[in-house]
Structure 1
Amino acid sequence: MRYSRKRAATSSEPSRPDVAVSGPPANETGEDVESPLEPSPQHLDRQTETVPAQPISEERPTPLDPTPTSHRSGESGSAYKEVSWAVMFNHFLDTRQTHRDDAIDKCSITYLGESFPLALVLEDLREGGRTRLHHPGPPLESPNVLEQNGGAPAHPPHLLPEDLSYLESKHVFEYPERAAFDAMVDVFLNNFLPLYSLVNRQEFLEQHQHDRLPWILVHSCCFVAATFGPESLLHKAGYTSRKEARYAYYGKAKALFDAGYERNKIVVLQSTIMLTFWGGGPNDYWNTWSWVSTAVTIAETLGIHRSTSATNMSPKDRSLLKRLWWMLVVRDASSATLVGRPFRINMEHGDAEMLTLQDFEHEIQGLEVAGHSLARTFAHYQVEVTKLSLLLYDIDYARFIPGPKALSMAQVYGRLQEWKNSLPQEVDWDHDPNHGNLLATCLSMVYDHHLMLASIGIASSEIATSNGDGGINPDGSVASIQQPFAELAAQRVSSQASAIVMKSQSLLVPHETYQAVFLAGVVSYTSMRSSQTMLAQVGRLVVDNCRMVLHNVRDAWDAAPWIITLFDGLTNSLNALPRQESSAQTPSVPMFGFGSMVDIDESVMGFGMPASWQSNPMLSALFDTPQTAW
Structure 2
Amino acid sequence: MPDGSISDVMEKPKSRRNRPRAEDRIRIACRRCNSKKVKCDAAPGVPCSGCQIAQVDCTLIDSKRGRTFYAGDSFSLTYAIHDVLAPFLSERLNYQKRLHFPIADGFDPSDIGRENIVNGQVTLLRERNILHRLSPDALEKMLDVYFRWFHLAFPVVSQQNFLQKCLRNQMSLLVLNALLLVAATICDPADIALTGCESRQHARAVFYAQAKALYDADLDPDKVNNVTAVFLMSFWWSGSNDEKDSWHWLGIAVSLAQSLGMHRSTAKSHMSDEKSKLWRRIWWCIRIRDTLTSGSIGRPQHISHMDCDVEMLESSDMANENLLGGEEEMYACQMARLSIIFSRVVSSRYAAVESASPSQKAQLESDLENFRLQVPAVLQYKGVHGETGRGLWSAMLLMAYNFGVILLYRPTSARGDTNASNFWGDRPKAMAAANEVTRVMEDILSSSLVRLCQIHTIPALFNSLSMHVFSLCTSGTIGRELAENRARTCMLGLTCLQESWPVSGWILKLFVDIIERLRQVNFFDLLEVPNYDTIDGRSY
Q: Same fold (TM over 0.5)?
A: yes
Residue type of the alignment partner of 1:440? S
Deviation at 1:380, TM superposition (A): 0.9
Question: Cα 1:571–1:254, aligned 2, differ >3 Å: closer, same or farther?
Answer: same
SS of alignment partner, residue 175 of structure 1: coil
Which deviations, in whole Å up to 9, do the C-alpha atoms of 1:472-514 show, x marking residues without a partner? xxxxxx9999x72211211111121121122121122322233
2:407 to 453, 456, 466: 453
Distance (whole Å) between structure 1 residues aligned to residue 481 and residue 22 of structure 2 = 63
Deviation at 1:142, TM superposition (A): 3.6
Instruction: State, as a whole percentage, how many aligned pairs show the same letter.
Output: 24
Partner residue in 2 for 1:108: 67
Deviation at 1:146, TM superposition (A): 7.7
Residue type of the alignment partner of 1:336? S
2:509 to 565, 571, 576: 565
Partner residue in 2 for 1:356: 314
Query: Unaligned stretches of 5+ in structure 2?
Result: 1-12, 30-61, 417-422
Distance (whole Å) between structure 1 residues aligned to residue 424 and residue 239 of structure 2 = 42
| Aligned 8 A contact 2:445 2:493 in 1 | yes
SS of alignment partner, residue 110 of structure 1: strand
Distance (whole Å) between structure 2 residues aligned to residue 541 and residue 222 of structure 1 = 37
Partner residue in 1 for 2:526: 587
Deviation at 1:362, TM superposition (A): 1.6
TM-score for both structures, normalised by structure 2? 0.80
SS of alignment partner, residue 101 of structure 2: strand
2:206 to 245, 248, 252: 248
Within-5 A mapping of 1:54-133: 69-71=21-23, 74-75=26-27, 105=65, 108-122=67-81, 123=83, 124-125=85-86, 128=94, 131-133=97-99
| Aligned 8 A contact 1:104 1:311 in 2 | no
Question: Cα 1:152–1:509, aligned 2, differ >3 Å: closer, same or farther?
Answer: closer
Distance (whole Å) between structure 1 residues aligned to residue 317 and residue 245 of structure 2 = 30
Higher share of residues assigned helix: 2
SS of alignment partner, residue 340 of structure 2: helix
Distance (whole Å) between structure 1 residues aligned to residue 183 and residue 204 of structure 2 = 9
1:506 matched to 2:450? The reply is yes
| Aligned 8 A contact 2:384 2:392 in 1 | no
Partner residue in 2 for 1:398: 348
| Aligned 8 A contact 1:445 1:513 in 2 | yes
Within-5 A mapping of 1:314-353: 314-353=272-311
Partner residue in 1 for 2:32: none
2:362 to 388, 392, 410: 410
Within-5 A mapping of 1:433-452: 437-452=391-406
Question: Cα 1:307–1:209, aligned 2, differ >3 Å: closer, same or farther?
Answer: same
| Aligned 8 A contact 1:73 1:103 in 2 | no
SS of alignment partner, residue 493 of structure 1: helix
Within-5 A mapping of 1:112-191: 112-122=71-81, 123=83, 124-125=85-86, 128=94, 131-138=97-104, 140-142=106-108, 153=116, 168-172=127-131, 174-191=132-149
Distance (whole Å) between structure 1 residues aligned to residue 73 and residue 472 of structure 2 = 54
Question: Cα 1:341–1:222, aligned 2, differ >3 Å: closer, same or farther?
Answer: same
Question: Cα 1:597–1:538, aligned 2, differ >3 Å: closer, same or farther?
Answer: farther
Residue type of the alignment partner of 1:137? I
| Aligned 8 A contact 2:64 2:104 in 1 | no
Which deviations, in whole Å up to 9, do the C-alpha atoms of 1:552-609 show, x marking residues without a partner? 0102223201111111100011111045xxxxx44016xxxxx7143344994x8x6x
1:218 to 163, 176, 181: 176
Deviation at 1:306, TM superposition (A): 0.2
SS of alignment partner, residue 452 of structure 1: helix
Partner residue in 2 for 1:533: 477
Residue type of the alignment partner of 1:134? H
Question: Cα 1:215–1:155, aligned 2, differ >3 Å: closer, same or farther?
Answer: closer
Question: Cα 1:117–1:447, aligned 2, differ >3 Å: closer, same or farther?
Answer: same
Deviation at 1:281, TM superposition (A): 3.1
Distance (whole Å) between structure 2 residues aligned to residue 542 and residue 417 of structure 1 = 25
Partner residue in 2 for 1:386: 336
Question: Cα 1:449–1:322, aligned 2, differ >3 Å: closer, same or farther?
Answer: same
| Aligned 8 A contact 2:384 2:395 in 1 | no
Question: Cα 1:479–1:255, aligned 2, differ >3 Å: closer, same or farther?
Answer: closer
| Aligned 8 A contact 1:330 1:389 in 2 | yes
Deviation at 1:542, TM superposition (A): 1.6
Residue type of the alignment partner of 2:526? P
Question: Cα 1:181–1:279, aligned 2, differ >3 Å: closer, same or farther?
Answer: same
2:379 to 416, 427, 437: 427
Residue type of the alignment partner of 2:374? S
Distance (whole Å) between structure 2 residues aligned to residue 314 and residue 529 of structure 1 = 58
| Aligned 8 A contact 1:104 1:312 in 2 | no
Query: Unaligned stretches of 5+ in structure 1?
Result: 1-56, 61-67, 78-101, 463-477, 580-584, 590-594, 609-630
Deviation at 1:543, TM superposition (A): 1.7
Which fold has the larger relative contact order, with Cα–Cα distance below 8 Å and residues 6 or more apart in sequence?
A: 1
Partner residue in 1 for 2:37: none
The Cα RMSD (Å) is 3.4
Which deviations, in whole Å up to 9, do the C-alpha atoms of 1:438-474 show, x marking residues without a partner? 21122112111111111112589x9xxxxxxxxxxxx
* Count of aligned residue pairs for this structure pair: 476
| Aligned 8 A contact 2:461 2:490 in 1 | yes
Question: Cα 1:451–1:228, aligned 2, differ >3 Å: closer, same or farther?
Answer: same
Residue type of the alignment partner of 1:413? E
